[in-house]
Chains A and B, each alone.
Chain A
Amino acid sequence: NAGVTQTPKFQVLKTGQSMTLQCAQDMNHNSMYWYRQDPGMGLRLIYYSASEGTTDKGEVPNGYNVSRLNKREFSLRLESAAPSQTSVYFCASREGGATEAFFGQGTRLTVV
């Protein structure tokens, strides 16, 4: 059972480049989340999706876009990467009212 799978695991971008971080879950969960993790700041919510076709901004959405085209996948796009977006990105999913959120292994992104 794969759970939540994120790709890629590592990425280095030049300032101004674009890329999409992929996330897929095989647990048939409705809710999916994207967080970024920075030292001393914990996990901050970028965007979330309550169900297929719906997305909403979290705490730090600027510079990002998301797409939830189907129930399994929730992608995060950086249109023009900036050094401030250097971080570790985590995708998570859970069923609506359930207790546990399941996390992917993370994508370590460096923007130079």
Chain B
Amino acid sequence: GEDVEQSLFLSVREGDSSVINCTYTDSSSTYLYWYKQEPGAGLQLLTYIFSNMDMKQDQRLTVLLNKKDKHLSLRIADTQTGDSAIYFCAESFMNTGFQKLVFGTGTRLLVSP
């Protein structure tokens, strides 16, 4: 079955790096994603990584994928107060001919000045 897990909270100071971790169970995942949710809003795609990649960098964001351990992480460099939000890890995999999209519990990132 599919299961995606994340820690619930992370608190950092402005300017520090933030690392949000995620574990997943389905080894047939094709893509893994990080979505950001600001208060009262829907989810916006931050970045994604294809399952045959180990790392992807996009400006302040670095995604690391350890496929053997089924572990995904998101590093935000020089974290700003505007980065405070809930971050969701998600995996996409084929199930009975349909690309399912399963989300983790979300990690609430709080950035203090």
Instruction: Show the binding face of A for B, using Cβ within 8 Å.
Output: 4, 31, 33, 35, 40-45, 48, 50, 56, 90, 92, 94, 96-97, 99-101, 103-106
Inter-subunit contact A31/B103 (CB<8 Å): no
CB distance from A87 to the nearest CB of B (A): 14
User: How many residue pairs, one in A and one in B, have C-beta atoms under 8 Å apart?
Assistant: 54
Task: Write out the residue numbers on chain B whose beta carbons fall within 8 Å of the beta carbon of A4.
Answer: 42
Task: Write out the residue numbers on chain A whose beta carbons fall within 8 Å of the beta carbon of B31.
Answer: 99
Q: Is B82 an interface residue (CB 8 A)?
A: no
Instruction: Show the binding face of B for A, using Cβ within 8 Å.
Output: 4, 6, 8, 31, 33, 41-45, 48, 88, 92, 96-106
Inter-subunit contact A50/B103 (CB<8 Å): no
Inter-subunit contact A42/B104 (CB<8 Å): yes
Cα distance A51–B54 when bound, in Å?
33
